Amino acid sequence: METKNSDLSSLKINRSENDSGPSKKKNITIIISILAVIVVAFIGYSILSPLFSREIKVNLVEASLQSPALTGAVFTASGYVVAQRKAAVASKGTGRLIYLGVVEGDKVKKDEIIARLEDSDVKAQLAEAKANLQLQKAGLNDAKNSYDRQKALIKTGSTTPADLDAAQANYEKTLASIELAKAQVQAAEVAVENTIIRAPFDGTVLTKNADVGEIVAPLAASVNSKGAVVTIADMSSLQVEADVSESNIERITPQQECEITLDAYPSHSYPGYVSKIVPTADRTKATVMVKVGFKHYDKRVLPEMSAKVLFLSKATKGSQKSQQPVLVVPNTAVVTRNGEKVVFTVKNNTASQIPVTTGQQFNSYIEIKSGLKNGDQIIENVTDQIKDGTKVKISS
C-alpha cells in the first residue's frame, strides 16, 4: 500500500508559480500566430491558384469545304430536280401490249413509235368499213341514173311525180350512206392509230411501266391492267423546285442569281437563276415553292435528285474552276505567332499549335491551303491567353 501511495503521488500536476508565468502566455501567442498564418495562406491559395492554373473554356469548330459563292449568299434552301416537261405515256385504246421498243434511258423523238397494242380486231373493223364504203359508192351510180331518168320522163309525162320523188329520195339516201361509211372508215382508222403509242415530244425514257403481254387500258381501269406504258421527260426542262420559308420569300426576286449543288456531287456546283415564284403557299409547311433554272448543266443532273440552292445577293463571277469549294475556317481561329499563321487543336484538354498556310478572305472566313483537312476540329476564338500547351476545357 505504501508503494502504491508513493507512485500516485508522483503523478500530481505541478502547479507551481513558475509554470503559470509569462512564458506560458508567450507560447500560446506564438501558436495562435502560426495558426493564423496557415489559415491566411490557405485562403490565399484557394483564391489565387485558380487564376494561374484554371482551364480556359473554348469552343470548337470544324474546317469545312465551302463554295466561294457563300460570301454573297442570302440564304440556302433545299429541293429536288424536276423536269418541267414530263409525261406518263399511255394508250387511248385497250389491248394487249405486243411491242415495246424502248427501255429506261433511251432517247426518243416526237411522234416516234415506242409501243404497239394488239390490233387485229380494229384492223378487221377498218376493212369492213372500207368495204361498206365501196358498196355504197357502187349503189350511188344506180341511184343517180334512176333519178336522172325520172327527171327526163317527167318532162314528157311518161312517169308520175311519185316515181320521181322516190328516185330522188333513193339518190339522197345513197349519198348519206356514203358519208356514214366514210365516217365509219375514219373511226376505224382512229381505232387502229390508238393501238400505236407515240412519243409526245423529244425526251428521255425515265421508267418502263409495262411489259409485252400485259393488258394496257386508259386510266388502268382494271386491277390487272396498266395505265402508262413508259414515263418520259424533256431533259432540257430540268429545274430545281425548292421550298422557301414564308419569312424568307421577300428576299427572293425573279431572275435572282443562284448556285445549285447536288447532294450527289457536293464538290461541284451549277449557276442558276430564279425562274418562277409559284403564287401560292403550302399552309401545312408555311413555305412557298420557288423554281430555280439552270444556266447550264451536264448529264450528271437527273430528275428527282436532291439539291441545295444558294440564293445570292450578287452574281457569281469567275470561271467554274474558281467556284470550286475551298477549305475554310473562321477568321477568329487563325492568329499570328512568331511571324507565322497558326491554329489550335485540342489534345487531352491541352491546346496544340498547328502552322497553316492561308489563302483568300471570304468575309468572316479564310481559306486554308495547307495544315488542315476537311473535318478537323480547331478552337474557334483564339485569344492571347491561348498558347501551345495551355490547359483548356471544351464548352458543351
* Residue 253 sits in the same domain as residue 360: no
* Residue 91 sits in the same domain as residue 217: yes
pLDDT tens track for 129-139: 999 999 888 88
55 DSSP 8-state letter: P
CB count within 10 Å of CB 14 equals 6
pLDDT tens track for 179-208: 999 999 999 999 999 899 999 999 999 999
List the grid coordinates of 293.
433554272
* Residue 127 sits in the same domain as residue 209: yes
* Residue 274 sits in the same domain as residue 310: yes
Distance separating alpha carbons of residues 213 and 180, to the nearest angstrom: 35
* Residue 136 sits in the same domain as residue 226: yes
pLDDT tens track for 262-308: 999 887 889 999 999 999 999 999 999 999 999 999 989 999 999 99
Q: Which of 232, 259, 277 is the last residue of a domain?
A: 232
Average pLDDT over residues 54-75: 76
Distance separating alpha carbons of residues 288 and 273, to the nearest angstrom: 16
* Angle of CA points 92, 98, 102, to nearest 5°: 85
| Nearest of 63, 59, 67, 66 to residue 356 by alpha carbon | 63
Average pLDDT over residues 237-243: 95
pLDDT at 28: 76
Distance separating alpha carbons of residues 86 and 233, to the nearest angstrom: 4
Instruction: Tell me if 387 sits within 8 A of 379, measured CB to CB.
Output: no
Distance separating alpha carbons of residues 325 and 69, to the nearest angstrom: 9
Q: How confident is the model at residue 46 (pLDDT cuts 50, 70, 90)?
A: low
pLDDT at 233: 94
3-state secondary structure of 191: helix
* Residue 344 sits in the same domain as residue 285: no
pLDDT at residue 51 tops 70: no
How many residues are given for the chain?
A: 396
The pair phi, psi for residue 383, each rounded to 5°, is -105, 175
The amino acid that residue 195 corresponds to is: T
Domain count for the chain: 4
* Residue 187 sits in the same domain as residue 102: yes
pLDDT at 237: 93
The 86-90 sheet, strands edge to edge? 86-90, 228-233, 203-208, 107-108
Residue 76: CB partners within 8 Å, gap ≥ 6? 308, 309, 310, 311
Q: How confident is the model at residue 318 (pLDDT cuts 50, 70, 90)?
A: very low
pLDDT tens track for 207-238: 998 899 888 887 655 555 677 899 999 999 99
* Residue 205 sits in the same domain as residue 134: yes
pLDDT at 72: 56
Distances (CA, A) of 293 to 85, 246, 272, 296: 13, 20, 5, 9
pLDDT at 317: 47
pLDDT at 55: 78
pLDDT at 93: 81
Average pLDDT over residues 29-35: 79
- Helix H or strand E segment including 279: strand 269-282
Sign of CA dihedral 216, 222, 226, 227: positive
| Nearest of 205, 23, 16, 173 to residue 109 by alpha carbon | 205
* Residue 390 sits in the same domain as residue 274: no
Instruction: Tell me if 320 sits within 8 A of 73, measured CB to CB.
Output: no
What residues make up the domain containing 114?
A: 87-232
* Residue 102 sits in the same domain as residue 172: yes
With pLDDT > 70 as the criterion, what percentage of the chain qualifies? Answer: 84
* Inside any domain, residue 240: yes
pLDDT at residue 355 tops 90: yes
* Residue 98 sits in the same domain as residue 147: yes
Prediction pTM value: 0.56
* Inside any domain, residue 12: no
* Inside any domain, residue 305: yes
DSSP bridge pairs for 58: 394
CATH code at position 174:
2.40.50.100
pLDDT at 71: 55
3-state secondary structure of 2: helix
Angle subtended by helix axes 120-156 and 161-193, to nearest 10: 160
Distance separating alpha carbons of residues 77 and 251, to the nearest angstrom: 12
DSSP bridge pairs for 66: 326
Query: Each residue of 326-344: b (16+ CB within 10 Å) or e?
Result: bbbbbeebbbeeeeebbbb
Q: What is the mean pLDDT of the chain?
A: 83
Residue 150: CB partners within 8 Å, gap ≥ 6? 159, 163, 164, 167, 168
What ranges in the chain are assigned the alpha helix state H?
Answer: 2-9, 22-53, 120-156, 161-193
| Nearest of 349, 252, 264, 341 to residue 292 by alpha carbon | 252
* Inside any domain, residue 151: yes
pLDDT at 68: 66
237 DSSP 8-state letter: G
pLDDT at 301: 93
DSSP bridge pairs for 61: 378
pLDDT at residue 1 tops 50: no
